[in-house]
Structure 1
């Protein structure tokens, strides 16, 4: 009796999975098509921005040939948007803000923790315990060293 119920359950499961496979395949294809369409739309918008930047660059430097290392190598030479109309000039960008990044204290803590963990795992016979202790000590020493560097940089900046 158990074998009959098990076989019947297996057959029902296989038929249930098989009947939805065409619906699932259609849904997957639809999702793929929508993804490709959205990527294409993003590429068109990106190209319009590149074209408008090129238009501004060329109109600002008529007659002058300036090669800038920051220039995009993938920028298209034409200045026409995807719908064959001249690309509109974007609004002027706000003044760039200084990117802060990691402080020397944070960098020192991370590097110290990594170095301490490796050293502790090598030195201590119990590798996990040694790595944990080494990471804690290394993070403390690295953070302290980074804090000293941060303090000296702030002093130097205040003097200037």
Structure 2
């Protein structure tokens, strides 16, 4: 009888201590999904507001362009006719250093520095490195100029 009572009490204690981890995990998962859904809705609302603001700005810009065009037409209609010998279209000069010039200067500096570090005899390495670096930098920069359209490629 003692063994039966001991087994019965053990069974009752074990059944009373059931683990609800699966239910807790399911509840946490549902809460995470709910939070993610609310964040998505919030981001959609923000995106919609941003889109409406962009449309308003675009409409305002279009209206300003239209008004500018109308004012230019009115000014052109009231302006006297242009003379026959008016200025011809002159292409705009490209300002600043070309990529070839930049490459030559950078290459000369890097080559001179490398030459000094490699050959430490009376600047001989600096001169040789500078010349080689300048030439290499020029060639690389000239290629960039051709690709950008600053210099016409050879046919």
TM exceeding 0.5? no
Rg comparison, structure with higher value: 2
Q: Decide which structure has greater helix share.
A: 2
TM norm structure 1: 0.40
